[in-house]
A and B are shown apart, each in its own frame.
Chain A
Amino acid sequence: MPTRSCDVIVIGAGPNGLAVAIRLAKAGRKVLILERQATERPGFAPGFTAPPLAHLSYNLDPRVEAGMNLSSHGLTWAAPVLDTTAVSSDGHHLRLSGRDLGKVDGPLSPEDRLAWAALSARLTRFASVLRPFRDMPPPRLAKGVGNDLWALAKIGLRARLMGKAEFRELLRMFLTNTYDVLNDELSDPLLKGALAFDATLGTWLGPRSPNSLLPWLDRLSGGGPRLPAGGMGALAASMRNSAMAAGVTIRSGASVGRALIEGGRATGVVLDGGEELRAPLIVSAVSPKSTLLGLVGPQALDTGLVNRIRHQKARGGAAKLHLALSGVPDFRGADLKTRLVLAPSEEHVERAFNPVKYGQVPDTPVMEVLLPSAHEAGHAPAGQHLLTAVVQYAPHNPADRDAARADMLKAALAQLEAHSPGIGGLITHAELLMPYDIETIWGLPGGNWHAGELSIEQMLFLRPLPGLSQYRTPVQGLWLASAGCHPGGGVSGTPGWNAAAAIERAGE
């Protein structure tokens, strides 16, 4: 029996699903969230819980944080500001301030110190000019379509008010590559390596790829990394708590098989078990690709659109490493309460990208390492440690997936060993999630963090696809709200928040 139990069905209980749900619930609608996963993933080692995909918060939307009142639902920060250590293999680490992007401690030449201070100030300035784009629906390229011309004019004006020279630099650097920007200004390989790593984190671009600066500017606009108390799982829990407190129903283990479409209009969903649930409004917080090709299906869409979504690029380039350690690792004295970046130079980052283009595993990957257990108890049994790392780059579709995973783990552990001699002896359990594992577990096409690559040709009004950037789909009553939409991924909740605003504006 089809049941109509709610006003809105939201598919997916990730940050965007929760954000859209709570905003609609607060506007008085009855919202049901359907989440595929039944329970928490089993831990990868005795006494260790399974870490979530993201291990740091980069760009949690302040509107979401406030709107969901997360602090009163349990969110506190283990590290509200996180410094970064560019780990050197000879112990001459650089420590990059999380509070002040331009500040570096460690053995750095005065020239580089000055140059980085100036460059970081410029990048921050550009990022802040571009920041407002994140909070609005992407503008459309047509007249009389309801663009917020005032907001756009303000962005343009702010860009121009930086001064003629800076405005010109923005226009020049908008589509430039990270490698050249770094080498134009800096000479220290370790600093350039850490920055090149940060710039390309989570993208399918190398530092030399043109347009690679833009995703970095986008990340910088969200502020520095932060670590929630209890880890990112706790952040997710606080979001869920907030949603439930607002009256949102979350149903776990409810895998949506397809959307019900009648007369060109979405009227509900069918669960894998065959159960039908009906609602006048369906919001998909799973990737646009899975939504359109899986839930809606090509039969209900135009061929051209299906082509576009099939060709939407979703190549995950990052693997996730989880290690259970029997003791404290030593990264040649690096502060374990910082984010450790293992990227000896910008050339290393580029070289690590090369093989991935051909579906192969790099010999010397670069990585971001975090020890949550160094910050607080609870992540690992007493005396033991949890190490989580993002390892780049990993092939998303190698010929032999198991062999690639094994090679990748070997290469990652070798890199760790090189920077933390003896760490190998501390490892009691290891788990490496390749992009295809990430796809299986979290349903992200290609294992791409952003549910569709974040690169200029898939950003702003081109995200997720030309003609589909306003969160609305061609199927009436069906909306998109995942990281695959503008402005993209990370645990920000912004796409969900923006989608809810668009739904409200449309009066649906």
Chain B
Amino acid sequence: MTAWDILVIGAGHNGLVAACYLAKAGLKVCVVEKNDWIGGAAVSRELYPGFTYSNCSYVNSLFRPEIMRDLDLPKHGLQILPYEGGALMTEDGGYLGMFRDHDANRREIARHSKRDAEAYDRYARDVLRHCRFIRPMLMRTPPDPASFRPRDLAELAWLGKQMFGLSELAMMDMIRFWTMSIADYLDEYFENPAVKAYQAVGSIIGTALGPMSPGTAYVLLHHAMGDVDGNVGAWGYSRGGMGGVTKALTASLRAAGGEVITGAGVDRVLVKNGRSHGVVLANGDEVIARRVVSNMDVRRTFLKHVEETELPPEFVKRVKGFKTRGSSGKLNIALDGVPNFPALPKGAPNIKGDLHFTGTIEKMERAYDDWKSGHFSADPFQDCMIPTMIDPTMTPPGKHFMSCFVQYAPPKIEGRDWTDADRDAFRDACLNQIEAYAPGFKNLVLHVEVRTPRELEAEVGLTEGNIFQGELTFDQLLFNRPVPGYAQYRTPIRDLYLCGSSTHPGGGVMGAPGRNAAAEILRDMKLPAKDLSDAYPVL
């Protein structure tokens, strides 16, 4: 049996990013994946003949460009397509569109509010200011504020310097922004309900909070800090679906000499004397490695695959207390043609982007109230995209793939597991909403894959179906992610690391957790991190 230097559990994007960097550093790396396919939540799958679905994550903006370059992903097939358009359709038959062109966009908003049209510039400036502040933190290991080690002190000092590089008022506004609800924050800029609802979208995606919950302004930032080719806040498609990301990562890994084994679920992590040295697969095979890196979320890793006796009780308690409540579901739909949204102007590009049917913040919040009481939202919030309006590779010509991301869907229905009947009712609530804005839509539907938190957990392994491997609230960010004292990718078990979105800087197809984990592993192995780029400087 081969003894590996590194064994990565889970071939999601972060596991593969970590594997790639470590393989490039000359280590013998193996990734084991429980599913028969690679990709975790960044996958392209043919679930209906001739149709490729991005059946989990569906758009890209956050994936760090430094990683794309370090790992030569475009050479290995990754192609990111910017998209245009987007629209929020309102109950009265109207719409608020989004346009890439600044002036077109201003004139569009001005149809709803002249004031808001001009307020958008200051809003965009302020969000950009926050993006500039947070970006350098994404590819750094968070310091432990309770530690007196020189490295932690230096990193804390660096953080302090970042803060004190701002004026006093800017620093205060930063703190306000990071703690406020998006509803309150938007009230400071805008007056029109549709404008506010559209801007609030990024604050609730994947989040077990409503737009009126404090802390949601930060979630907005989490979705706004990415870019497509320097266009900050822009999103794009991966050509061929989100599996393009993990496909390219796999190719890059193989080029660097690493291996991926699919259909190899892990039963448990082997631990001896507080040190891990491999895993036992579900089929009973042992795979031995000097170091084990888990791309699974922290709860799945430690509550399912590590003996509790090997762990400090306080750690176990905190892992159990790490919040991973799922809030989202998804419909993946094969369509016979382009749906007709009468509200949208003919010839405008809106349909090529994100489509929403929730015209006010209040409706979003009410959808969240349903989630709190253990129900999926009766009138859900949807983030719908038809990537095949731009990407010709995913369906036969004239046919389309539509991805509908839905909030809110709780991990359990009134405390019990989801049933198939619940799932069907959830599907119908979503389809009926679309039908109301696109009459005849249902007649175009060839196939629907419905994914509730139950399916997300069962298939992708996301505990409770949380797409971020842990909620993005401040008690779970930075040095608190996933567990205070263990936010530096290391765990209480020596040679066992975490590299998934449970770790800093969190979820989204970002790759940063995987990259940062690889940096820490190389550090522990005293290997040079020569192939790791630092974050591009923010000028």
Residue ranges of B at the interface with A (Cβ–Cβ < 8 Å): 145-146, 163-164, 168-169, 171-173, 175-176, 179-180, 184, 187-188, 209, 212-215, 314, 321, 323, 362, 365-366, 369, 372-373, 473-475, 479-480, 484-485
| Majority-rule SS of B interface residues | helix
Partner of B372, one of A172, A175, A208, A462: A208
19 other A-B residue contacts (CB within 8 Å) besides A164-B146, A165-B485, A354-B372 = A140-B168, A141-B163, A141-B164, A164-B485, A172-B484, A173-B475, A175-B473, A175-B474, A177-B473, A177-B475, A209-B213, A210-B209, A210-B214, A455-B179, A457-B179, A462-B175, A462-B176, A466-B173, A466-B176
Query: For the complex, what is the distance from the CA of A338 to the CA of B373, rounded to whole Å?
Result: 32
A175 lies within 8 A of B213 (CB): no
Query: For the complex, what is the distance from the CA of A350 to the CA of B364, rounded to whole Å?
Result: 17
B168 lies within 8 A of A311 (CB): no
A41 within 8 Å of B (CB atoms) = no
Q: Which residue of A lies closest to B218 (CB)?
A: A210
**What string of 1s and 0s marks CB contacts (under 8 Å) between A158-191 and chain B?**
0010001101110111111100100010000000
**CB-CB under 8 A for A167 and B172, given A210-B473, A354-B369, A357-B365:** no
B214 lies within 8 A of A205 (CB): yes
B474 lies within 8 A of A167 (CB): no
CB neighbours of B163 from chain A (8 A): 141
Residue ranges of A at the interface with B (Cβ–Cβ < 8 Å): 140-143, 160, 164-165, 167-169, 171-177, 180, 184, 205, 208-212, 307, 311, 313, 350-351, 354, 357-358, 455-457, 461-462, 466-467
B479 lies within 8 A of A457 (CB): no
Q: Which residue of A lies closest to B479 (CB)?
A: A171
Q: Which residue of B lies closest to A453 (CB)?
A: B184
Listed by A's residue number, 8 A-B pairs whose Cβ atoms lie within 8 Å are A141-B172, A171-B145, A174-B475, A177-B473, A210-B474, A211-B214, A455-B214, A457-B180
> What total of A-B pairs shows CB separation below 8 Å?
98
A311 lies within 8 A of B214 (CB): no
CB neighbours of B173 from chain A (8 A): 466
CB neighbours of B484 from chain A (8 A): 168-169, 171-172
A175 lies within 8 A of B175 (CB): no
3 residue pairs, one from A and one from B, having the closest CB atoms: A168-B484, A466-B172, A176-B475
Partner of A175, one of B188, B215, B485: B215
Query: For the complex, what is the distance from the CA of A408 to the CA of B176, rounded to whole Å?
Result: 33
B473 lies within 8 A of A457 (CB): no
CB neighbours of A462 from chain B (8 A): 172, 175-176
| Majority-rule SS of A interface residues | helix
> Whole-angstrom distance from the CB of B407 to the nearest CB of chain A?
16
Partner of B187, one of A180, A208, A311, A354: A311
Interface centre among A165, A175, A205, A457 (most CB of B within 10 A): A457
> Whole-angstrom distance from the CB of A376 to the nearest CB of chain B?
41
A457 lies within 8 A of B169 (CB): no
> Whole-angstrom distance from the CB of B369 to the nearest CB of chain A?
5
Q: Which residue of A lies closest to B487 (CB)?
A: A168
CB neighbours of B172 from chain A (8 A): 141, 461-462, 466-467
Partner of B176, one of A160, A164, A208, A457: A457
B146 lies within 8 A of A167 (CB): yes
Query: For the complex, what is the distance from the CA of A311 to the CA of B188, rounded to whole Å?
Result: 6
CB neighbours of A142 from chain B (8 A): 168
Query: For the complex, what is the distance from the CA of A379 to the CA of B243, rounded to whole Å?
Result: 73
> Whole-angstrom distance from the CB of B36 to the nearest CB of chain A?
37
> Whole-angstrom distance from the CB of B259 to the nearest CB of chain A?
38
CB neighbours of A172 from chain B (8 A): 475, 480, 484
> Whole-angstrom distance from the CB of B527 to the nearest CB of chain A?
30
CB neighbours of B475 from chain A (8 A): 172-177, 180, 210
Interface centre among B145, B169, B213, B475 (most CB of A within 10 A): B475
CB neighbours of B176 from chain A (8 A): 457, 462, 466
Q: Which residue of A lies closest to B184 (CB)?
A: A313
> Whole-angstrom distance from the CB of A363 to the nearest CB of chain B?
13
Q: Which residue of B lies closest to A208 (CB)?
A: B372
CB neighbours of A173 from chain B (8 A): 475
B372 lies within 8 A of A350 (CB): yes
CB neighbours of B145 from chain A (8 A): 167-168, 171
Query: For the complex, what is the distance from the CA of A313 to the CA of B188, rounded to whole Å?
Result: 10
A351 lies within 8 A of B373 (CB): yes
**CB-CB under 8 A for A466 and B179, given A160-B146, A211-B214, A350-B372:** no
Q: Which residue of B lies closest to A304 (CB)?
A: B169
Q: Which residue of B lies closest to A357 (CB)?
A: B212
> Whole-angstrom distance from the CB of A123 to the nearest CB of chain B?
15
B365 lies within 8 A of A466 (CB): no
CB neighbours of B373 from chain A (8 A): 351
Q: Which residue of A lies closest to B147 (CB)?
A: A164
> Whole-angstrom distance from the CB of B177 to the nearest CB of chain A?
8
Query: For the complex, what is the distance from the CA of A167 to the CA of B475, rounded to whole Å?
Result: 13
Query: For the complex, what is the distance from the CA of A481 to the CA of B72, rounded to whole Å?
Result: 61
CB neighbours of B175 from chain A (8 A): 457, 462
CB neighbours of B366 from chain A (8 A): 358
CB neighbours of A184 from chain B (8 A): 321
CB neighbours of A176 from chain B (8 A): 473-475
Query: For the complex, what is the distance from the CA of A305 to the CA of B4, rounded to whole Å?
Result: 62
CB neighbours of B169 from chain A (8 A): 466-467
CB neighbours of A311 from chain B (8 A): 187-188
CB neighbours of A141 from chain B (8 A): 163-164, 168, 171-172
Q: Which residue of B lies closest to A168 (CB)?
A: B484
Query: For the complex, what is the distance from the CA of A211 to the CA of B212, rounded to whole Å?
Result: 13
Q: Which residue of B lies closest to A350 (CB)?
A: B372
CB neighbours of B184 from chain A (8 A): 313, 457
